[in-house]
Amino acid sequence: MKYEPTCLEIFLTRLAFLLCGKSVYQAFADRLPLDGGEQVLDFGCGMGTVAYYIAKKLPHGHLTCLDISERWLNTCQKTLRGYRNISFMLWEFPHFINESFDVVYCHFVLHDITESELKRVIPVLAEALKPGGVFVFREPFNETNKISLIKRLAEQNGLISKDSRITDIPMMGNALECVYFKK
């Protein structure tokens, strides 16, 4: 599955980041359970809208930004150019070292992945979490079928639901945030 964003999509994402960064992306980042020393995976990082705020919260940790698009990764590297605690990976269905991340998060990404791909992706993300690790996702609330599938796959892969909430996101509408942990 290969996808590259258009120039317009990058421009609109950058505009949303500049206009709504704190209320949309920082608000999500602030709710992630971080103490500053974690190993964190941003799955579907895009231009780094959430990663920008996460990197600041990891003075002794590390952030891995992963995307299927080289163009998004290049844009993300520009967004995060001032940070040294970040690595960038192109998704080519990597298999991470088991239990290598404390936190894995996805922001408005999973609903764009086909059902068959989600059945491959969610197990890899669950496997990448350390015991006690946390998986967090935020998806458009109107994607109920996809959200149900994501939740079912998370639970089938040993993740336990800890919390969920509906949030109202400027310019994006309602979204569901779900938090799972690995035993």
Q: Tell me, what's the pLDDT at 14? A: 80
- Please tell me the predicted confidence (pLDDT) of residue 96: 67
What total of structural domains would you count in the chain?
A: 1
Is residue 124, in this structure, part of any structural domain at all? yes
Q: Are 40 and 103 in contact (CB under 8 A)?
A: yes
Residue 118 lies in a domain: yes
Collect the ranges in the chain with pLDDT lower than 50: none
Which pLDDT score, from 0 to 100, does residue 2 have? 63
- 1-51 confidence digits (pLDDT tens): 567 888 888 888 888 887 777 888 999 999 999 999 999 999 999 999 999
Residues of the domain holding 42: 7-182
CATH number, position 143:
3.40.50.150
Residue 2 lies in a domain: no
Any domain includes 22 = yes
Residue 94 is predicted with a pLDDT of 62
pLDDT at site 19: 78
Cα angle 142, 18, 34; round to 5: 70
Question: Using DSSP, how many helices (H) and how many strands (E) does the chain show?
Answer: 6, 7
Q: What is the pLDDT of residue 7?
A: 84
